[in-house]
Amino acid sequence: MLSEGSSFMKGMIMGGLFCLVLSLMTSFTPKSESTADEHHHHHVKAASKEELKHFSDSQVEELHNQVRVFCAIMVQPKTLVYWATTMDTWSKHCDKAVFYTSESSKALDAIDLKEKDDWARLRKALKHAYENAGDLRWFFVAQPTTFAIIENLKYLVLTKDPDEPFYLGKAVKSGELEYVAFDSGIVLSYEALKRLVHVFQDEEKCPERGRALWKLSEDKQLAVCLKYTGVFAENGEDAHGKGLFNSQSADSLIADSLKDHPTDVVGSCCSDMAVTFGGMSPNQMQVLMFGVYRLRPYGHDFHDSLAFYPPEGSDND
Amino acid sequence: MVSCCSECTNHTSNWAGHLCHLSSAQLLDCVSSWKPSPCPCSLSVPSPRPAPVRLKPSLPACQRLPWSSMKAHGSRLSFYAGFAVGTFTLYVFLRQVWFERSVTGQQQAGGSALLHDHQHQVEDEKTIWKKERSALFNLKHPHHRGEDSQMADELYKKVRILCWVMTGPNNLEKKARHVKYTWSRHCNIVVFMSSVDDPDFPTVGLGTKEGRDQLYWKTIRAFHYAYEHHAHEADWFLKADDDTYVIVDNLRWILANHTPEEPIYFGRRFKPYTKQGYMSGGAGYVLSREALRRFVEGFKDKVCTHTTSVEDLAMGQCMEKVGVLAGDSRDTSQRETFHPFVPEQHLTAKFPKSFWYWSYCYYPIAEGPNCCSDLSASFHYVDAGGMYLLEYYAYHLRAFGYKYRFQPPAPNGIDQSSQEKKQAEVDNSSRTDQRQDADHAPAAGKEAAAAPAAK
């Protein structure tokens, strides 16, 4: 019995040492997924007011034309009310807004991709967007539960060249893969989309039906394919380093801020130039539409270098 | 050469003459003068050590008991078990320690950040307000980074508003506090009216009890207090609840074309029970200095008395009696600016036709986007989160470069042309000057045509 006891003790000590060594070697942490808060290697910031002042009139005009956005919104009949709200609100501010659906709906018009698989559908949509881009050079892919302020998206990419590969949004790291979260919107420059459409043809690198044992979500798949073409995810931030793409609704972010920073709720919450809010209910989207495009305090003006005008035939902005 | 001496040494794992109790010299002698017998080893050496014990002593089969091999197995199993337990224990321990460190780190950081924030706030407050006679005097009009707030600043000086907020001791931390840190900062003076004095918050004790039946008493006393203490420090006197959110800058735009000497008051106009209508209490209403004077005089002359606890109706009846006009607070596109509900309800809800709201509103009700002016002044039933959300939407979040559809005409008092010149100077490298001028051109007719009031 004594020999067993001593063996046990020896075992315990060995086990403890083993664990310690292992954890030190792998700098083990309980969390496996971390957000872009800790991995700020790749980030894209909006131009500051001072930077914009250096542009001449004609340059500003050119930027205005270059920064036009093609919105690809991935809808499904089962989320019809979100689809309808998106059509009625922010998508009107896209230079071109195309709705891609998994199956047709009698209520609303969209491009029916007849595809149930999320990744395959996204591929088809992106291919269609690329082929129908016209002279639009920036692409924004979103779900109808996301609200996007397109003018602020344009502000973010204003001085970036769309012939360079850009893949922006809320950058999230999962293991070794850094990808842009779908629920806060994905921004692709023309060059990035071009490379992506090209790599779609490579069944080895970028298969249409994922071959992995476990299915990767479509936003991760996108990151994998883009990585092969040398395009990496970047986090979109304002001039002060605050994230512009939010997976949560404004209401939810304010509620969190009220709990965590009760003495500076609004300051600690979200950027003034926020581009997206995810997880918005249709009513919340209508309120946000009013809040960003109409409600304001009289006498506070901003003299921005560019002017964006309200869309034709709309009454809620 | 086998000898007892070498045998002796052979039985030990290493050469050890000392085990034979022979010195090396003696051993050499022994080896060199070996004789078969007698063995000198036997003299001084104990019986040779038995063969080293092996883990598995090869006992005869009949003597090999079953648990003896398990005993060996058992030891190995114990070892593995111990290994597993050790690993697991340390994993748990490390996770706890790590976790705790990050949590306490966060908490410490959070805690110290909160403390820091709080200290900051106390410091900030000294630069924001001057606390005097239970009122908070805003020392400066809040400014935003990168904005041109010249128009707003000018109105801040010309249209001085005292905001008094109806609250109670139980609501100071739950509701009134959020008013204090959001919209009330845009008032010239803010006074929190309660039943109980609180010099820290600060609140004024009106000497009433709490409860819905006390509302008109509190209102009467609050207006009397405002008149007695602050009549010369403000031009307009706003009443709001602690769940009303007010955009004070927009209130100034509405009031700018009137003078404090006019006997007039503004709010969300309701029509029943009165000739000229009355203003909704929850949506907030604002009296000119003359209106306030007549209110106080009315009570002195007993023209007005405490008729009912329905504060807003009673107020409206008194106003009518003392000749104060119920003003039209709608914007230049006939959209309402004071709202008895939250934005979500006005924008999206389909009120049933039986709802009281339909029969109460003085002006035609519009549902959907036309419900609410771009320059809305108030919303009611706003909770804590809602206050900060509205503050974010109104004062912070914006669309870059967006040219609003509704272009409000500048108030009469403000010199339009000099204002434009000032703006051009401020923004001397702006290339949108031409576009700016076009946008700011006031033409009430143009605005009315551009922004249709009703579909």
Average pLDDT over residues B165-175: 95
Residue B451: what pLDDT?
38
Q: Is 0.90 exceeded by the ipTM?
A: no
- Give A-chain residues touching B391 at CB under 8 angstroms: 266
Contact B399 A151 (CB under 8 A): yes
Residue A12: what pLDDT?
86
| Higher pLDDT among residues A303 and B54, named by residue | A303
3-state secondary structure of B190: strand
Task: Report yes or no on whether pTM surpasses 0.80.
Answer: no
Q: List A residues 162-191 in contact with B (Cβ-Cβ < 8 A).
A: none
Residue B120: what pLDDT?
63
Nearest beta carbon to residue B427 from set A295, A303, A309? A303
The residues pairing with B198 across neighbouring beta strands, listed in sequence order, are B203
Nearest beta carbon to residue B344 from set A250, A283, A294? A283
Beta strands in B101-145 (DSSP E): 129-132, 135-138
Longest dimension (CA), chain A: 91
| Higher pLDDT among residues A62 and B100, named by residue | A62
Residue A65: what pLDDT?
85
- Give A-chain residues touching B86 at CB under 8 angstroms: 11-19
Contact B393 A295 (CB under 8 A): yes
| Higher pLDDT among residues B433 and B358, named by residue | B358
Flag the least confident range among A4-18, A279-293, B169-183: A4-18
Q: List A residues 282-311 in contact with B (Cβ-Cβ < 8 A).
A: 282-284, 286-288, 290-310
> What is the number of other CB atoms lying within 10 angstroms of the CB of residue B153?
15
The residues pairing with A112 across neighbouring beta strands, listed in sequence order, are A101
As a whole number, the mean pLDDT across chain A is 89
Residue A29: what pLDDT?
44
Residue A231 has pLDDT above 50, yes or no: yes
| Higher pLDDT among residues A239 and B409, named by residue | B409
The beta-carbon contacts of B62-67 under 8 Å, at least 24 apart in sequence, are: none
Average pLDDT over residues A239-246: 93
Nearest beta carbon to residue B397 from set A8, A292, A317? A292
3-state secondary structure of A95: coil
Phi, psi torsion values for B350, nearest 5 degrees: -105, 95
- Interhelix angle A190-199/A218-228, rounded to 10 degrees, is 90
- B47-60 CB burial, b ≥16 within 10 A, e <16: ebeeeeeeeeeeee
| Residue type for position B171 | N
- Give B-chain residues touching A93 at CB under 8 angstroms: 399
Chain segment A83-95, per-residue pLDDT in tens: 999 999 999 999 9
DSSP B343-411: HHHHHH----TTSHHHHHBSSPP--GGGGS-TT--EESS--HHHHHHHHIIIII---TTB--S--PPPP
Pick left, alpha or beta for residue B171 (phi over 0 → left; psi -120 to 50 → alpha; otherwise beta): alpha
As a whole number, the mean pLDDT across chain B is 79
Residue A209: what pLDDT?
79
| Residue type for position B274 | T
Residue B380 has pLDDT above 60, yes or no: yes
Contact A19 B394 (CB under 8 A): no
pLDDT-derived band at B275 (thresholds 50, 70, 90) equals very high
Phi, psi torsion values for A315, nearest 5 degrees: -120, 0
pLDDT-derived band at A212 (thresholds 50, 70, 90) equals low
Average pLDDT over residues B406-417: 80
3-state secondary structure of A108: coil
Flag the least confident range among A232-241, B249-258, B410-419: B410-419
